């Protein structure tokens, strides 16, 4: 296992556990993700925090008219938690993607024809929002790719019943590494909370700090590095793709007896196409290592809707690690390679 690259402040604060001896303290040049690459792509648009803060209305709970935690407030809170926890590191501003635009009108414009509406007559908010906050001063090279530490969050109003009285609101939050070659997100179990329910920004701030503190950076790096040491033939790769397509056709009971596989048929087709065409991780008939396979999965996941993005990010990690173990004789994911 190679060394984890981090600035002096964080070397003392991270949960390194049994991997602590692998960490070193260095000063290094900061490299950021190219602006044309995005951590999630299809079905989303890029917006600024200023737009969310100044141009979007805030939905309310229908039965008591209590305000929700709007997207801007969620992002600002997580950003503050990241800056406080990673004090001494470089914490970038959030990259923000939104989808499912909800349009409305102010009361004075209710009876206006649509083609006569002024911009001041319109209201807007987004049902779903995803954001990524990079910490480029904490990075690691894995199998020839530079990975920066990244915090990623999802705020989707469809995860919370807004037709009720005010209840704790669902937010999904993860911390992992972002591949700078392609902007693929690498999310593992101990860096993901899919069940956060918070009523205010104080609870969200605390939950974010707890997630950052419990994340074992060195363990995730170690698991990803292991993937580069295992290869599969084109025949085995095609076997996995075929089983992944077959999985979608199984009954619910049959699927429950197998490890979960959340990628859709369309995304599996993307993995197949990328095996031939992807200049960074494709093999085009040659052997494929498990790091390449993992990035084909995470690359296909970038077409997910925002509300399923993080669950599928985690599942891509589960599949890559599970199939890697199966290639070494483990039984749990054996069905995918038999």
Q: Per residue in 251-310, pLDDT tens?
A: 999 999 999 999 999 999 999 999 999 999 999 888 999 999 999 999 999 999 999 999
Band of the pLDDT at 315, cuts 50, 70, 90? very high
- Residue 295 pairs with which residues in a beta bridge? none
Percent of the chain with pLDDT over 70: 90
Query: What average pLDDT does this structure show over 217-222?
Result: 93
Tokens of residue 206, six digits: 């605390």
**316 neighbors 298 (Cβ within 8 angstroms):** yes
Give the pLDDT confidence of 40-75 residue by residue, as tens digits.
988 899 999 999 999 999 999 999 999 999 999 999
Contact status, residue 205 vs residue 81, Cβ threshold 8 Å? yes
> How many CB atoms are closer than 10 A to CB 21?
10
**Alpha-carbon gap, residue 11 to 197, rounded angstroms:** 30
pLDDT at 286: 87
Per-residue CA distances from 16 to 1, 19, 153, 214, 279 (Å):
13, 5, 23, 9, 34
% of residues, the chain, pLDDT over 90: 83
Compare 55 and 16 and report the one with higher pLDDT.
55
Mean pLDDT across the stretch 219-248? Answer: 95
Q: Which string of b and e fits 196-208 if b means at least 16 CB within 10 Å?
A: bebeebebbbebb
287 Cβ contact partners less than 8 Å away, ≥ 6 residues apart: 231, 232, 233, 234
Q: What is the pLDDT of residues 183-210, one digit of tens each?
A: 999 999 999 999 899 999 999 999 999 9
Residue 296 · residue 274 · CB < 8 Å: yes
Round to whole Å and give the CA distance between 260 and 268. Answer: 14
Q: What is the mean pLDDT of the chain?
A: 91
pLDDT at 42: 81
pLDDT score of 24: 40
More confident residue, 34 or 310: 310
pLDDT value, residue 11:
47
Segment (H or E) for 324: helix 306-327
Q: Count CB atoms within 10 A of the CB of residue 61.
A: 18
Report whether 287 contacts 158 (CB < 8 A).
no
Residues 122-158 pLDDT 10s: 999 999 999 999 999 999 999 999 999 999 999 999 9
In this model, does residue 324 exceed pLDDT 60? yes
Widest distance between CA atoms in the chain: 68
What b/e sequence results for 105-126 when a residue is b if at least 16 CB atoms lie within 10 Å of its CB, and e otherwise? Answer: eeeebeeeeeeeeeeeeeeebb
pTM confidence score: 0.89
pLDDT bucket at 97, cuts 50 / 70 / 90: very high
């Amino acid at each position: 296992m190679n060394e984890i690259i981090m600035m002096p402040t964080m070397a003392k604060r991270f949960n390194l556990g049994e991997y602590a001896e692998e960490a070193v303290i260095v000063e290094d040049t900061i490299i950021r993700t190219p602006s044309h690459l995005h951590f999630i792509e299809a079905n989303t648009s890029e917006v600024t925090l200023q737009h969310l803060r100044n141009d979007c209305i805030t939905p309310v709970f229908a039965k008591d008219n209590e305000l929700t935690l709007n997207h801007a407030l969620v992002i600002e809170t997580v950003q503050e938690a990241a800056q406080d926890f990673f004090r001494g590191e470089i914490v970038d501003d959030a990259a923000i993607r939104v989808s499912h635009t909800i349009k409305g009108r102010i009361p004075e414009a209710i009876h206006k024809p649509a083609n006569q509406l002024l911009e001041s007559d319109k209201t807007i908010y987004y049902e779903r929002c995803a954001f990524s906050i990079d910490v480029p001063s904490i990075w690691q090279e894995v199998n020839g790719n530079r990975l920066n530490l990244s915090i990623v969050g999802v705020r989707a109003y469809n995860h919370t019943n807004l037709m009720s009285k005010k209840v704790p609101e669902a937010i999904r939050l993860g911390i992992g590494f972002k591949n700078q070659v392609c902007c693929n997100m690498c999310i593992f179990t101990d860096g993901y909370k899919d069940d956060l329910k918070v009523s205010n920004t104080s609870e969200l701030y605390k939950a974010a700090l707890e997630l950052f503190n419990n994340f074992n950076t060195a363990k995730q790096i170690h698991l990803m590095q292991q993937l580069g040491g295992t290869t599969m033939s084109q025949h085995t790769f095609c076997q996995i793709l075929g089983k992944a397509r077959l999985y979608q056709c199984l009954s619910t009971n049959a699927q429950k007896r197998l490890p979960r596989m959340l990628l859709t048929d369309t995304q599996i087709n993307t993995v197949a196409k990328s095996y031939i065409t992807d200049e960074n991780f494709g093999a085009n008939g040659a052997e494929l290592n498990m790091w390449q396979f993992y990035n084909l999965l995470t690359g296909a996941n970038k077409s997910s809707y925002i509300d399923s993005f993080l669950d599928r990010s985690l599942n891509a990690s589960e599949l890559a690690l599970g199939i890697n173990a199966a290639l070494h004789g483990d039984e749990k994911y054996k069905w995918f390679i038999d």
